[in-house]
């Protein structure tokens, strides 16, 4: 799975991005930059409803909160659930700058989020198509639509700059 180009048609032609997905990713990238400025791994996430209205936002907070579950996705899912007064986010889209890990993929499915849009692929720990494909696993009772590679280069650049500065 990880050896094929993501976010492109064969021949390297980029896939078109829906305007709502692009807008949500722009905000997620801003949140990722805020995370980096705070010394966190630069990952940002946004949950939107079917109209594109932002219900929840998050960025990595693991270092700041000493909470191993404080990934951007979890923070955004919690905020969205609080905003609508329900854990069930089935008509929502989670947009995140990095492919979700196993923990986040499980939380996404538990929240019943119907769509996941992400930027950079995580070839080491991704659970939305690169290493694992939990979000679309037919053996599970719930699945999510997955769109990967949206503004991938921008998301990768944030991650690369963050880790290069620490080497």
Q: Would you name the residues annotated as active-site residues?
A: 73
Task: Provide CB contacts within 8 A for 77, sequence distance 6+.
Answer: 47, 56, 58, 89, 94, 107, 108, 111, 113
Report angle CA 73, 60, 96 to the nearest 5 degrees. 40
Report angle CA 131, 116, 88 to the nearest 5 degrees. 120
- The Cα 59–Cα 78 span in angstroms is 12
């Amino acid at each position: 799975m990880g050896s094929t180009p993501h976010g492109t048609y064969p021949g390297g032609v980029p896939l078109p991005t829906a305007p709502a997905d692009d807008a949500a990713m722009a905000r997620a990238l801003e949140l990722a930059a805020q995370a980096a400025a705070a010394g966190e791994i630069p990952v940002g996430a946004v949950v939107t409803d079917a109209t594109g209205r932002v219900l929840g936002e998050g960025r990595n907070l693991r270092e700041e909160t000493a909470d191993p579950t404080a990934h951007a996705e979890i923070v955004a899912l919690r905020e969205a659930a609080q905003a609508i007064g329900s854990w069930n986010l089935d008509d929502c889209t989670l947009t995140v700058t990095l492919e979700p890990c196993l923990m986040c993929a499980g939380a996404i499915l538990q929240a019943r989020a119907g769509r996941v849009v992400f930027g950079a692929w995580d070839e080491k720990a991704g659970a939305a198509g690169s290493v694992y494909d939990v979000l679309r696993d037919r053996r599970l009772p719930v699945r999510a639509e997955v769109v990967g590679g949206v503004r991938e280069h921008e998301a990768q650049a944030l991650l690369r700059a963050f880790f290069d500065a620490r080497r």
